[in-house]
Amino acid sequence: MGEGAGQMGGIAVVETTGGGVFADGMRGLGRSLRLWGLGIRATVMSLLVSLVLFSLPGVGLLLVPAVVGGVRRVANRQRELAGAWSGRPIPVPYAPKPADEGFLSRCRWIAHDTQTWRDWLWVTLDPIVGVALAFLPIGLILSGFWGMGLAFFGPELSAEWDGLWFDFIPVEGPTTAMLAGVLGLLHLPLALWLAPRTVRAHGAWTRRLLAPSETARMADRIEHLSVTRSDAVDTQMAEIRRIERDLHDGAQARLVAMGMTLDAAEHLLDSNPEAVRSLLIEARKSSSKALEELRDLVRGIHPPVLADRGLADAVRALAMVSPLTAEVTVDLPGRPELPVESAVYFAVSEILANAAKHSGGDRVWLDLRYDHGMLRVGITDDGRGGADISRGTGLRGIERRLATFDGVLAVSSPLNGPTMVTMEIPCVLSSPKTTSC
């Protein structure tokens, strides 16, 4: 799995930096310009909010949904930029839309969403704080060029305007004009040095007001736990029903038949020994098939290779039996918890089966590694692409299985491929590895 593949799900990709102080400064200036432009939009939205709330109390109520939608679009763009430039994504914290699309339902949804009021606080203050932060390095650049211009035209302008100052220097003649030009020239490197820092300060300001509040994060966490707990219970019950069905239709039926065969043999033991021999052979075959079915059932619950050799070798075993040519890279310094191992194993198994069945590709690459408390699995095939997590029950099932452990699933599958599936599960490694990777 290659790094820098873009942004999947909740995984942010930090824009690369480099090239020295000058390159960082120029990049910071470009970002300051973009933030300043967004700040101007926020200023317009602030005026609209004030107009709706105070100037048009009657008609303004009808405009509330449209104005809130505009504020949220600008705020989401600020969240996106702040997350991309800092490497710390700012989640979109709005409550889900109501099923009822009526006007009153939308107004209640907006009014009861605490983030609406935080957005309006941001759009009220950002024209002051955000615009000032974004414009500071740009203003230094403009004032620097103005100071350098005064080195040539300062005396004439001072005489025409009856006095002129640049910063703390009164421009009265050629000497002071030249000092103003030197000072203006110094503004340029100062702006380059300051630009990345003001961008970071702007990102911190944006995060302060637009990131979800602690109450909202706790509510989302509780809702997430409730949903995943329900999914886990449903999955467990479905698994129990599958085991019961397999036992009833398979091993149990064979054991019942074997009991009937042995009962018949008991009745024929004295009168027909040859028939008893045939019945015993049949009973032995039934017991062998019942044992085989029980082993298959146990393998479906927790594969022996997973229990004996760990996740790394279990994934390699899946790759070896896959119809696609598989290349596996593993970097696990230990073993995850058994439930996590099982969830990842079956997720990889289903993704490989889907790739072999639907992708039309020839090769698949698996990358399994542990990094900073996160178990990461990447699976890429060279197939036709077009996989959509919203259209398949298999991928949604994997997503629900991982969500039980606070894991996430991301799928990138453009038409004509390749398909890249990424799974991330927070966990700890509880024991040293027993096999080489």
Each residue of 184-227: pLDDT tens digit?
A: 888 888 888 888 888 888 888 888 878 776 666 666 666 666 66
pLDDT at 434 over 50: no
List Cα–Cα distances, 295 to 290, 301, 310, in angstroms.
Answer: 9, 10, 19
pLDDT score recorded for residue 18: 45
**When comparing pLDDT for 331 and 266, which is higher?**
331
Each residue of 92-126: pLDDT tens digit?
A: 777 666 666 666 767 776 776 777 778 778 888 87
pLDDT at 239 over 70: no
Question: Which of 121-135, 150-164, 288-302 bottoms out in mean pLDDT, i.e. has the lowest?
Answer: 288-302
Question: Which of 13-17, 40-44, 199-203, 265-269 bottoms out in mean pLDDT, i.e. has the lowest?
Answer: 13-17
Phi-psi category of residue 289: left, alpha or beta, with phi > 0 → left and psi -120 to 50 → alpha: alpha
Mean pLDDT, the chain, integer: 76
pLDDT score recorded for residue 145: 87
pLDDT score recorded for residue 25: 76
What is the mean pLDDT of the segment spanning 400-426? 83
Contact 193, 68 (CB under 8 A): no
**When comparing pLDDT for 387 and 3, which is higher?**
387
Encoding tokens for residue 125? 């203050």
pLDDT score recorded for residue 102: 67
**Which among 227-236, 257-266, 307-316, 390-399 has the top mean pLDDT?**
307-316
pLDDT at 4 over 60: no
pLDDT score recorded for residue 17: 42
Each residue of 345-370: pLDDT tens digit?
A: 888 888 888 888 888 888 899 999 88
Per DSSP, the three-state class of 101 is: coil
pLDDT at 153 over 60: yes
pLDDT score recorded for residue 216: 62
pLDDT at 12 over 70: no
pLDDT score recorded for residue 295: 67
pLDDT score recorded for residue 273: 78
pLDDT at 296 over 70: no
pLDDT at 382 over 60: yes
Question: Which of 56-60, 112-116, 313-317 bottoms out in mean pLDDT, i.e. has the lowest?
Answer: 56-60
Per DSSP, the three-state class of 128 is: coil
pLDDT score recorded for residue 172: 76
Question: Which of 41-55, 319-333, 398-412 bottoms out in mean pLDDT, i.e. has the lowest?
Answer: 41-55
List Cα–Cα distances, 179 to 109, 143, 154, 328, in angstroms.
Answer: 60, 14, 11, 66
- For the question of whether the overall pTM of this predicted structure is more than 0.75, the answer is no
What is the mean pLDDT of the segment spanning 151-163? 77
pLDDT score recorded for residue 388: 74
**When comparing pLDDT for 174 and 228, which is higher?**
174
Each residue of 251-276: pLDDT tens digit?
A: 677 777 778 878 787 778 778 877 87
Q: Is 304-430 in CATH node 1.10.510.10?
A: no
pLDDT score recorded for residue 16: 40
List Cα–Cα distances, 245 to 242, 257, 262, 293, in angstroms.
Answer: 5, 17, 25, 12
pLDDT score recorded for residue 9: 34
pLDDT at 338 over 60: yes
pLDDT at 51 over 60: yes
Backbone angles phi, psi at 165, to 5 degrees: -120, 145
**When comparing pLDDT for 56 and 345, which is higher?**
345
- For 88-93, the CB contacts below 8 A with 24+ separation are 88/12, 88/207, 89/10, 89/12, 90/206, 90/207, 90/210, 90/211, 91/10, 91/211, 91/212, 93/211, 93/212, 93/213, 93/216, 93/217, 93/220
Encoding tokens for residue 243? 């085991």
Per DSSP, the three-state class of 137 is: helix
